[in-house]
Structure 1
Amino acid sequence: MELGITPNRADMLSMNGTAYEVAAILNERPELPAFELNESSEATADLIQAEAPADLAPKYGVRVVKDVHVQDSPLWLQRRLWNMGIRPISNVVDVTNLMLLTYGQPLHAFDLDRLPAPKLQVRTAKAGEVIKTLDGVERKAAEGDIVIDSDGQALMFAGVMGGESTEVTADTQNVVLEAAIFEPKAIRHAARDQNLHSESSQRFERGVDVEATFKALDHAAAMIAELGGGTVTNGRVIAQDFDYEAPTVDITTEKINDVLGTDITTAEIAAIFERLCFTQMEQDGRFSVTIPSHRWDISIPADLIEEVARLYGYDNLPATLPTGETTPGKLTEKQRLIRDSRHSLEGLGLNQAISYVLTTPEKATQFAMDPEATPVEVDYPMSQDRRVTRGSLLTSLLDDIAYNVARKQEDVSLYEQGRVFASNGMSTMPDEIEHLAGVVTGDVRERDWDQAAQPADFFYLKGVVEQLLADYGFVDNVRFVANTDRPEMHPGQTADIYVGDQFVGFIGQVHPRVAKFYKVGQVFGFELNLTDILRMPRVKSKYEPISKFPSIKRDLAILVDRDIQSADLVDTIKQHGGTDLHDVTVFDVYTGDNVAADKKSVAYSLTFVNREHTLQDDAINAAIERMTKALQDQFAAEIR
């Protein structure tokens, strides 16, 4: 039988809890381990004292076992621990581990003679207090961690890991056994802060059986005395305790059947509660169920309904169609834009990537559109590489490129749509901004028998972005403006992207220094702020019939200074080309012989179309004359 333990079922982190569950499944009664405790006449309180505040340890007690002979455990105990995945150490430590696995109750054993004083005290740690744990590592406690103290000296992180100074060794003769229930949040804080996720902390964080705490303590003392030849002193020393009040949950047969869609009888429901060892009172289909201490996950009627469904069998629940009025669903404007963006980029040859939103502080500020934005730090990071939220999608995509390149996949085209984060201070939630980014590296077209391979370059990716932005249908024009100030981008191949006068992103080659940091070759990337794009006015695409009249093409070659951008020339041509100018395309750029060193020759193909009538040469000539005059006036262009 294989059991999958869900996070809410911490009771099954013990053999007793699992026995209850398996017995309920098989309709049997669980047989829990029994023991006999023999105590000496010497009082435990004469040997050790304990003190614990109720807010840190609502249950805390100790026992003493004297004259113990610490040695290897018998073979049966070693085998049992090996089968449970725990390495045997000694009879004393092995017994505490066996109790942990049997009852789900963590215990700890101290060497009584190595305690600084015959008293144990539960307290919060002082910031920077150093404890050397059982693994030999000196750790600094954080304020709020729970520690066990003796005579002002912190001995161990309570509920997480013991300390080396009082550990049980081969020379130990007198053992103090500790059993407690510690405040779960403080245990989780210490475990995360110290990166010590132990078997004990796992159980204290999720809960333990409050009725089994001192029972496990007594059982451990009896077994240590038996295996180590010692004697158990008389009584426990209890620093904190409370009486368990079993909760009662009311439920009806009608409610259970209404939720599950079944016709289970009252007798069947009563039998299920009986199998679960739940005490119950029933009258006319109304149940009052008392929850035992080992099932602290049960607190509301819905929990009882779930238990009935589990043991009745999910396969036995009838399949029904949902009832109620149906309404047509539709995407919001934001959802539609994001989906259309994905379709456009996938149609243009990019594959979607999904990356972690957490990264390192160094990467969090790279490629940020807002250099003043502060990354959001995570209080309890899963690792040092996932400590802060990202400020750009490009860093995640570069990690993806590096992963692929390291595995000999050198031709990669990826895009990612996701959120970046910016801190608003400790008191408010961070800003979450929708972004869209893409990267290309290697060849975008493979070599074939009739064509050479085409490597990725700035203009290839610019074409992808231009098509994507054209699909959005902005009212304002899209502009690319050269930018040499982005430290992570190549100063000669980077441009900011504007829609009208609104900055929405950037495009260019990743700086070779940054590419080397990520261990990749030449990479081109872009990133857009979708949150800003969503606010911009757009027009819906509509069909325009093809003109019945022929188009006319003219070529225009001009000589201009090398530092003049083609985009500025195209804008001027379009502004003065008239309503019949349909398309402007660069088909040649020349520098070299017969052209001055500070000049370049740029040739454009101009397409004119009129939907109402056939164009005449006079109209085309007049439009070209207006263009050439504007180019001469604004850029001192020479017409070739």
Structure 2
Amino acid sequence: IRVWGYDKLPSTLPDGAIALVTQPATLRQGQTVRRTLVGAGLAEVVTHSFSDPARAALFRRPSDPAPVELLNPLAQDASWLRVHPLEGVLGAVATNVRRQQADVRIFEICKTYARAAATDKTGVSEPSRVPTAGKTDVSEPARASLRPPSTEAVLTDPVTTNPATTEPRWIAIALTGARGEPGWHGGNERADVYDAKGLAEHALEALGVRASTGDAGALGGFEPDCHGTLLADGGVIVGEFGEVAAALREHLGIPAPVFAAVIALDAVGAVAPAPTRYQALPRFPAVERDLAFVVGSGQPLTAAQIESVLREEAGPLLRRLVLFDVFRFPDGRSSLAWRLLFQAEDRTLTDDEVNAIQERVVRRIIETFHISLRSG
């Protein structure tokens, strides 16, 4: 060909379809969560998946599934696989506190491991068991082996191939100490449960899920009176938040309160993301009004219950509702104050229109919850 001449070869363009690289949904989830939480000031930690049975007992509830035990553990305090999503981050918090790092804001993307329990006719759950070699009618707790089954001998290990073993994915968030970085321009505010809840909602919003607040959830390790859930549309629990139980903190050697939140990534992936909506910038001015109600000490009311009725009665002209003040009286009563923003798309609202809505809202709240409007 060199003698004949390369210039005599016909020119042809390469043919073929080019496929774009696609990333798994789980990888995209992880990248979104990391970008969101690191941008919010948290540091990511990566911890071992091993668990101490004595410590795990403080996290577990009687209804939790059977744990996965290792066949050849490295040590007794690493003989289980992780049973609770907060084990790793709380261990990291304890390590930092022991090294005089009292302000910790961390998160972890992790897995927990459990076995589906066998249920008898009475409905009582028992741990999964495997037969003991050479014995009859004898069983021992199911243990997980880190060794894969032998493919050359065409053998299958009933432990490693058991589909009843579940590995749900989680986001775990833990906060303790100061709310932000120390500085002359900032106060010395401490982190609280609302910081953990807000970070979890921030991560869910980045994943396209709008969540509301519910009652206590199914995970252990939280204080019973400071434990809530995050619910997606349809009432699906996608996260939990609260204050870490005092007994668990004492076991870990953490003297200060710790606030945590977890998000079930598998549950989030099953929820259809909320559609992205765009709205034109407002052309007409808004009107703000403040309303404060006094709740009696013996009334089991929550701010969410009052807000739900506020939004319903205010109607479509209510654009924003913010609980901006909570004051507790010495006699046990509480004052809850909201800021309401009203705005119309086609006109400037008059004082008479807003006054009428405000009077209607106040009347509905008083009649529904039997609480009083705070004046002065």
Which category of TM-score, normalised to the shorter sequence, fits these structures?
0.7 to 0.9
Query: 1:265-301: CA deviations, max 9, x gaps?
Result: xxxxxxxxxxxxxxxxxxxxxxxxxxxxxxxxxxxxx
Out of 316, 322, 326, the position equivalent to 1:585 is 322
**Contact kept? 1:446, 1:452, Cα under 8 Å:** no
> SS state of the match for residue 385, structure 1?
helix
Distance 1:377 1:511, change over 3 A: same
Give matches, 1:190-589, under 5 Å: 326-367=18-59, 371-424=63-116, 425=128, 426=130, 427=158, 428-429=162-163, 430-474=165-209, 477-482=211-216, 488-500=221-233, 501-521=235-255, 522-562=257-297, 563-589=300-326
Match of 1:308 in 2: none
Q: In 2, distance between residues paired with 1:405 and 1:339?
A: 28
Identity %: 25
Q: Residues 572 and 564 (structure 1 numbering): CA distance in 2 closer, same or farther, change over 3 Å?
A: same
Please state how far the C-alpha of 1:573 moved relative to its aligned partner: 1.2
Structure 1 residues 486, 380: CA separation in 2 closer, same or farther (over 3 Å shift)?
Answer: closer
In 2, distance between residues paired with 1:367 and 1:550?
Answer: 52
Alignment match of 1:603 (pick from 323, 332, 337): 337
Is the contact between residue 52 and residue 80 of structure 2 (CA under 8 Å) also seen in structure 1?
A: yes
1:490 and 1:383, CA in 2 relative to 1: closer, same or farther beyond 3 A?
same
Write out per-residue CA displacement over residues 85-123 of structure 1, whole angstroms, 9 at most, x where no aligned residue.
xxxxxxxxxxxxxxxxxxxxxxxxxxxxxxxxxxxxxxx
Distance change >3 Å, CA 449–CA 564, structure 1 → 2: same
Structure 2 counterpart SS, 1:508 = strand
**Which structure 2 segments of 5+ residues have no match?**
1-15, 117-127, 131-157
Query: Structure 1's 450 and 341: CA in aligned 2 closer, same or farther, altered over 3 A?
Result: closer
Aligned partners of 2:242 and 2:260 also within 8 Å: yes
Partners of 1:377 and 1:481 lie apart in 2 by 32
CA distance in 2, matches of 1:402, 1:437: 15
Q: CA deviation at 1:325?
A: 6.1
Larger Rg, first or second structure (1 or 2) = 1
Match in the other structure for 2:154 = none
Q: CA RMSD in A?
A: 2.5
* TM-score, length-scaled by structure 2: 0.76
Q: In structure 2, what is the Cα distance between the partners aligned to 1:410 and 1:514?
A: 17
Q: Determine the structure 1 residue equivalent to 2:3.
A: none
Instruction: Give the match's secondary structure for 2:365.
Output: helix
Which structure 1 residue ranges, 5 or more long, are not aligned? Answer: 1-323
* TM-score (normalizing by structure 1): 0.46
Q: Is the 8 A contact 1:364 1:375 kept in 2?
A: no
Q: Is the 8 A contact 2:94 2:254 kept in 1?
A: yes
8 Å contact from structure 2 (residues 60, 221) kept in 1: no
- Offset from partner CA, 1:38-64 (integer Å, 9 cap, x none): xxxxxxxxxxxxxxxxxxxxxxxxxxx
Q: Residue 630 in 1 paired to residue 364 in 2?
A: yes
1:331 is aligned with what amino acid?
Q
* Counterparts in 2 of 1:370 and 1:331: CA distance versus 1, 3 Å: farther
| Greater relative CO (CA pairs within 8 A, separation 6+) | 2
Q: Secondary structure at the match of 1:399?
A: helix
- Structure 1 segments of 4 or more deviating over 4 A? none
Size of the alignment, in residue pairs? 313
CA distance, structure 2, for counterparts of residue 400 and residue 410 of structure 1: 12
Counterpart of 2:72 in 1: which secondary structure? coil
CA contact (8 A) 1:369 1:505 kept: no
Cα distance in 2 for residues equivalent to 1:498 and 1:369: 21
Counterpart of 1:44 in structure 2 is: none
Partners of 1:639 and 1:437 in 2: how far apart? 40
Mapped partners of 2:334, 2:26: distance in 1: 44
Q: Which amino acid aligns with 2:79?
A: R
Q: Name the aligned partner's letter for residue 377 of structure 1.
A: E
1:569 deviates by 1.4
8 Å contact 1:458–1:508 — kept in the other structure?
yes
Q: Please say if residues 230 and 240 of structure 2, whose CA atoms lie closer than 8 Å, have aligned partners that are also in contact.
A: yes
Q: Distance in 2 between matches of 1:487 and 1:534?
A: 23
Cα 1:586–1:371 shift into 2, 3 Å: same
1:328 aligns to what SS in structure 2?
A: coil
Partner of 2:348: 614
Residues 421 and 370 (structure 1), Cα distance of their counterparts in 2 relative to 1, 3 Å cut: farther
CA distance in 1, matches of 2:184, 2:239: 39
**Aligned partner letter, 1:471:** A
